[in-house]
Amino acid sequence: MTNAIKRTRRALLGALVLTTGFGVTSFAQAKYPDKPIKVIVGFAAGGPTDIVARFVGARLEKALGQPVIVENKPGGGSNIASAEAARAKPDGYTLFLGTIANATNMSVYKNLSYDTERDFIPISQLVSSPSVLVVNNDLPVKNLAELIAYAKANPGKLSYASSGAGGSPHLAGEMLKQRAGIDALHIPYKGAAPAMNDVMGGTVSMGFKTASGVTSTIQAGRLRPIAIASSKRLPQLPDVPTLEELGFKDFEVSSWSGLFAPKGTPPEIINTLSKAITEIFSSPDVRKQLEGMGAIPVGSTPDEFKKYVRSEIEKWRVVAKTAKIEL
């Protein structure tokens, strides 16, 4: 065999090995996603968080070309779902729809099996729904100044309802007490609906209610709005001032939700999901539909969402520590 023939055979063999290697690499690095994606939600089907999850999930499905399945794991103030999502394989096929509970729970619960900042990678804040401070129609106050004056003139008479101990309505009530220097008895309920019903019925004086769940009740005249816990007024309630307008700087309480991935999920997968969310939320139709649900569309970047989650955890940590709330 001549040297020329040997060189030719070696070159052909090398090309075959190289081509095969590329083929294996290409096969191993299949484009994400190539199978269904699961989104874990910590609340029951049919609630506001679940509705947002399914609304965004349906549009993610179209954007990514794979089914997006919402799995409800209610219980423990979203702690059950959070813990399961934190333990999931970080491959982009199990995501988590976190909420404000993932900020408040960090301060009010002892011995959590997960850490919101340590165990998750923020992808995007999806929506926000500010809380509205409402009072029973029979309470003789029409604005915040009158409410504070009444509380100070009638110590021990005011009470406020929440959807459960340790949740954002509970902490919002404690923040109002701290910032306004008033006293009010906390009455926890098993859910927002019974809490709101007892405020309407007069069993409880007041409460912080999510705008998406209370706007129609206010418009029907069944509750009196005092102020909105947001930096801006709501289009649905244009005559109701914000707490910031009334002198309470940075008094913001919003029931937000956002998409997270387990820690260790590759950056390229996070980028793919982030870009898909950005495109979805750039649609005027999507934003209009979310606003119709009483939600404010956000669609933030991973870095923006990370900073927001950190600020929420710190804010509620101060409130919980001052009020000595521990579950």
In a domain, 272, yes or no: yes
Q: Domain of 48: which CATH number?
A: 3.40.190.150
- 10 occurs within a structural domain: no
Do both 137 and 221 map to the same domain? yes
Q: Is 99 helix (H, G, I), strand (E, B) or coil?
A: strand
Spatial separation of the C-alpha atoms in residues 326 and 137, rounded to whole Å: 32
Say which CATH number the domain at 205 has: 3.40.190.10
State residue 231's pLDDT score. Answer: 87
Q: What are phi and psi of 192, to 5 degrees?
A: -75, -35
Among the candidates 174, 195, 229, a domain finishes at 229
Co-location of 120 and 259 in the same domain: yes
Query: Does the pTM of the predicted model rise above 0.95?
Result: no
Q: Do the domain assignments include residue 91?
A: yes
Question: In terms of domains, do 259 and 307 share one?
Answer: yes
Tell me, what's the pLDDT at 295?
A: 87
Question: Nearest 10 degrees: CA dihedral of 241, 132, 254, 160?
Answer: 130
- Are 154 and 218 members of one domain? yes
Residue 1's pLDDT is: 52
Q: What is the pLDDT of residue 236?
A: 86
Domain check: are 94 and 106 in the same one?
yes
Let me know whether 117 and 178 are in one domain. Answer: no
Domain count along the chain: 2
Say whether both 63 and 124 belong to one domain: yes
Among 229, 263, 283, residue at a domain's last position: 229
**Cα–Cα dist 287/64, whole Å:** 19
The pLDDT value recorded for residue 181 is: 96
- The strand pair at 37-41 and 94-99 is best described as parallel
Cα–Cα dist 145/148, whole Å: 5
- Residues 204 and 99: beta-carbon distance below 8 Å: no
Give the separation between CA 297 and CA 258, rounded to whole angstroms: 11
Q: No. of H helices and E strands in the chain? A: 12, 11
- Determine, yes or no, domain membership for 27: no
Parts of the chain with a pLDDT under 70: 1-30
Q: Let me know if residue 149 belongs to a domain.
A: yes
Cα separation, 82 vs 321, in Å, equals 23
Q: What share of the chain is helix, strand, coil (3-state, %, to 5)?
A: 45, 20, 35
Do residue 124 and residue 136 come from a single domain? no
Whole-angstrom Cα distance, residue 254 to residue 172? 10
How many other β-carbons are positioned within 10 Å of the β-carbon of residue 259?
Answer: 26
Question: Among the residues of 88-167, which ranges form H helices?
Answer: 101-108, 116-119, 144-153
| Residues paired with 227 in a beta bridge | 133
Are residues 142 and 225 located together in one domain of the fold? yes
Residues 260 and 273 in one domain: yes
* Closest to 148 measured CA to CA, from 127, 187, 124, 176: 176
Pick the last residue of a domain from 195, 229, 263.
229
Q: Which of 269, 258, 265 is nearest to 103 (CA)?
A: 258
Residue 249 lies in a domain: no
Report how far apart, in Å, the C-alpha atoms of 222 and of each of 48, 107, 211, 218, 225 are: 21, 34, 14, 6, 10
Cα distances (angstroms) measured from residue 165 to each of 157, 171, 173, 188: 20, 8, 11, 6
269 and 208 inside one domain: no
| Residue 236 covered by a domain | no
**What's the rounded Cα separation, in Å, for the pair 4 and 321?**
82
115 plus 260 within the same structural domain: yes
Point out which residues pair with 229 in neighbouring strands.
Answer: 131
Residue 241 included in any domain: no
**Full residue range of the structural domain in which residue 206 is found:** 131-229
